[in-house]
Amino acid sequence: MVKKEVVEKVANLQSEMSSLTQEKIQEVAPKAIEKGLELSMKERAKIENAQYIEPSRKLKAIGELKAEWRPKRERDWEYVKGIFQNENEGGRINNEPKKFWFRKWPGDPDCLWEIPVNVPVYVPRMIAKLLSGEQDEDTGIQAMKFHTFDFVDQPVNNFRPDSFTHEFRPTGTHYTGKFSPLGAF
């Protein structure tokens, strides 16, 4: 009798197995929790051996953000990955980190940023744009660029006895560094 029961159990098991479909298996299978699988930017930076840069100091926030600016502000505060290469005159690398104060949006604190040189970093998108020298479409700010001025000899054909011999003119535009994106920007 034991043999007959075992044969019946195996026959029942085989019939259950043959009736299984993909839909039935999906119903019974445990569901993956999507939220638990997401990595924060800090965790991602740690895994990728990149530095997650936060402001080293903050001053009190001033003003209030308008509701229509909120989506742009949130996009600006999204972290992106890149590498900053700091250059001084002559194109030589200066390995000191770039330090600067920056505040773009009303209601945000004025923050002191310290960006290390020649290492992968995660920074907010607005800081990456500032370091890359792109002109910001909202504020018109174009950073990492400066102009030099000097006294230049005035052309002889315009010279009069009461005029100056030199003019104060711009002599060049220089860039202090470059932020290059790593991955999507």
Quick: pLDDT tens for 63-98: 898 899 899 999 999 999 999 887 655 545 567 788
Whether 58 maps to a domain, the answer reads yes
Mean pLDDT to the nearest integer, 10-35: 71
Residues 103, 141 contacting (CB under 8 angstroms):
no
> What are the backbone dihedrals phi and psi of residue 154, each rounded to the nearest 5 degrees, phi first?
-80, 140
Mean pLDDT to the nearest integer, 40-63: 87
CA 180 vs CA 1, 8, 103, 121, 157: distances in Å: 78, 69, 21, 10, 47
CA atoms of 36 and 17, how far apart (whole Å): 32
Whether 99 maps to a domain, the answer reads yes
Binned at pLDDT 50, 70 and 90, residue 40 comes out as confident
Q: Which residues are paired to 51 by β-bridges? A: 121
Q: Which residues are paired to 98 by β-bridges? A: 115
Give the model's pLDDT for residue 26: 72
Return the C-alpha torsion angle 87, 93, 96, 98, nearest 10: 20
Give the model's pLDDT for residue 10: 82
Whether 163 maps to a domain, the answer reads yes
CA atoms of 113 and 59, how far apart (whole Å): 12
Mean pLDDT to the nearest integer, 18-35: 67
What mean pLDDT, rounded, does the chain reach?
Answer: 78
CA atoms of 137 and 104, how far apart (whole Å): 12
Binned at pLDDT 50, 70 and 90, residue 140 comes out as low
Q: Is the pLDDT of residue 184 over 60?
A: no
CA proximity to 185, closest of 148, 134, 138, 139:
134
Q: Which domain holds residue 88?
A: 39-181
Binned at pLDDT 50, 70 and 90, residue 101 comes out as confident
Whether 146 maps to a domain, the answer reads yes
Whether 27 maps to a domain, the answer reads no
CA proximity to 131, closest of 78, 161, 171, 87:
87
For 24, other C-beta atoms within 10 Å of its C-beta total 10
Binned at pLDDT 50, 70 and 90, residue 55 comes out as very high
Give the model's pLDDT for residue 49: 86
What lies within 8 Å, CB to CB, of 169 at 6+ separation is 149, 150, 151, 152
Q: Is the pLDDT of residue 60 over 80?
A: yes
Whether 19 maps to a domain, the answer reads no
User: Among positive and negative, which fits the CA dihedral 97, 55, 109, 57?
Assistant: negative
Whether 84 maps to a domain, the answer reads yes
CA atoms of 161 and 38, how far apart (whole Å): 75
Whether 2 maps to a domain, the answer reads no
Q: What's the domain count of the chain? A: 1
